[in-house]
């Protein structure tokens, strides 16, 4: 073998050695991580806790009615404005009463006439001039006249539309001063919103939990408003509908909320926050998780210090916390920080932090 061939073989062996060395260094560096430094790990914490299930709700006033005219006539006075708070018995609208006053006077005259006829007939009956049947007929005429007078007075009274309870006047219908009003025509609405009824639909499983285990314990519901704020009064369940809706598999609940400041209005929407207690819930910080394709994961650190991604199932979400349903055990160590600095299989240096310390100073958010 000549010297030239030997030189080529030597060069090839040297290249292989350098390549093998580079591969070994790359594998070692990859396995040891990307200069992440010392990372913090901890265990899940197991404790009793509670969370709120939100249910879309419709908010209705305790009393909400349409105010309609019971008489025909021209609208003579409008004494309130839309949105005005009125008191029970307050005069709201006045229909022109002229015709009805005249009918009352006529009925009063008819009654007086019937009274005179009855008194005369009774005197004659006492003298046996007329029969008892004629006296009974005169009495009937008088009773009829009195009833007719009461009816005319009622018609006159109904020309005044008064508030049947304290409440807020709604939008006026197509009425103006001088409008010709017909019997049964809607004028406006009146709403008593000092107490509100909040309706929401609950799935069958939640209904059964309530009926079998929670009845009497769910005594304070919260109401989240459209702006995300929680209403400052708590509510109680006051009614449950008689049957389920077969199309949705839900049943309607009604909760009552005091509304002394009248913040809540008829027709608002919100979310009922239903408290659910969990015994020995397994909790982890949201910051310790990451999401891929709508699935949530944590990095679990094994005894060798290697990190492995593990899918977890979330039972519910609390402030800065997740309740883990499946995927973690209380003794598992998971990565608290640096989730974006490591890869599956990396070996890291870590410092263990007690769960009590982690959760006591929790100011964490999911990455």
> What was the pLDDT predicted at 166?
97
Q: What is the pTM of this model?
A: 0.70
Contact 71, 183 (CB under 8 A): yes
Task: Give the pLDDT of residue 98.
Answer: 96
What pLDDT, on a 0 to 100 scale, did the predictor assign at position 222? Answer: 96
Start-to-end CA span in the chain (Å): 65
Cα separations in angstroms, 33 against 17, 38, 246, 341, 366:
24, 11, 56, 8, 23
Q: Say if CB 276 and CB 53 are below 8 A apart.
A: yes
Could you give the domains of the chain?
53-61+191-278 (2.40.30.170), 72-95+160-184 (2.40.50.100), 97-158 (1.10.287.470)
pLDDT of residue 316: 85
Per DSSP, helices labelled H in 158-283 are 204-209
- pLDDT score recorded for residue 214: 66
The per-residue DSSP string of 244-264 comes to -BTTTTEEEEEEEEE-TT--S
Q: What is the per-residue pLDDT across 161-186, written as a single tens digit (0 to 9) for each? A: 999 999 999 999 989 999 999 999 99
Query: Tokens 């000092």 belong to which residue?
Result: 194
pLDDT number for residue 209: 86
Supply the pLDDT for residue 27: 45
Residue ranges in the chain whose pLDDT is less than 70: 1-36, 214-219, 363-367
Helices (H) and strands (E) in the chain, counts: 5, 19
Which runs of E-coded beta strand occur in 229-364?
A: 236-240, 250-258, 269-285, 290-292, 295-301, 307-318, 321-326, 334-335, 349-352
């Amino acid at each position: 073998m000549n010297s030239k061939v030997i030189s080529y073989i030597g060069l090839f062996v040297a290249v292989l050695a350098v390549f093998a060395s580079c591969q070994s260094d790359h594998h070692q560096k990859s396995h040891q991580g990307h200069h992440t430094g010392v990372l913090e790990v901890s265990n899940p914490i197991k404790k009793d806790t509670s969370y709120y299930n939100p249910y879309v709700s419709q908010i209705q006033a305790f009393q909400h009615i349409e105010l309609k005219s019971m008489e025909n006539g021209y609208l003579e006075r409008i004494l309130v404005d839309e949105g005005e708070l009125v008191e029970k018995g307050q005069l709201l609208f006045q229909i022109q009463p002229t015709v009805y006053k005249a009918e009352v006077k006529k009925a009063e005259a008819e009654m007086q006439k019937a009274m005179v006829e009855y008194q005369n007939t009774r005197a004659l009956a006492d003298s046996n001039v007329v029969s008892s049947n004629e006296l009974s007929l005169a009495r009937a005429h008088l009773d009829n006249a009195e009833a007719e007078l009461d009816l005319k007075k009622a018609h006159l009274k109904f020309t005044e539309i008064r508030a049947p309870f304290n409440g807020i006047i709604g939008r006026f219908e197509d009425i103006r001063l001088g409008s010709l009003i017909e019997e049964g025509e809607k004028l406006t609405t009146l709403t008593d919103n000092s107490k509100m009824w909040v309706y929401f639909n609950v799935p069958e499983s939640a209904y059964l939990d309530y009926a079998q285990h929670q009845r009497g314990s769910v005594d304070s519901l919260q109401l989240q408003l459209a702006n995300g704020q929680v209403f400052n009064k708590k509510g109680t369940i006051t009614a449950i509908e008689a049957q389920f809706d077969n199309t949705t598999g839900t049943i309607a609940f009604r909760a009552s909320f005091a509304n002394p400041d009248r913040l809540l209005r008829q027709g608002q929407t919100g979310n009922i926050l239903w408290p659910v207690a969990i015994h020995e819930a397994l909790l982890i910080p949201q910051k310790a998780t990451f999401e891929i394709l709508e699935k949530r994961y944590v990095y679990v650190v094994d005894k060798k210090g290697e990190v492995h991604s593990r899918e977890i199932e979330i039972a519910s979400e609390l402030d800065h916390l997740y309740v883990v349903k499946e995927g973690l055990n209380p003794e598992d160590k998971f990565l608290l920080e640096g989730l974006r600095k490591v890869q599956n299989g990396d070996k890291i240096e870590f410092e263990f932090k007690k769960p009590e310390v982690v959760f006591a100073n929790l100011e964490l958010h999911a990455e």
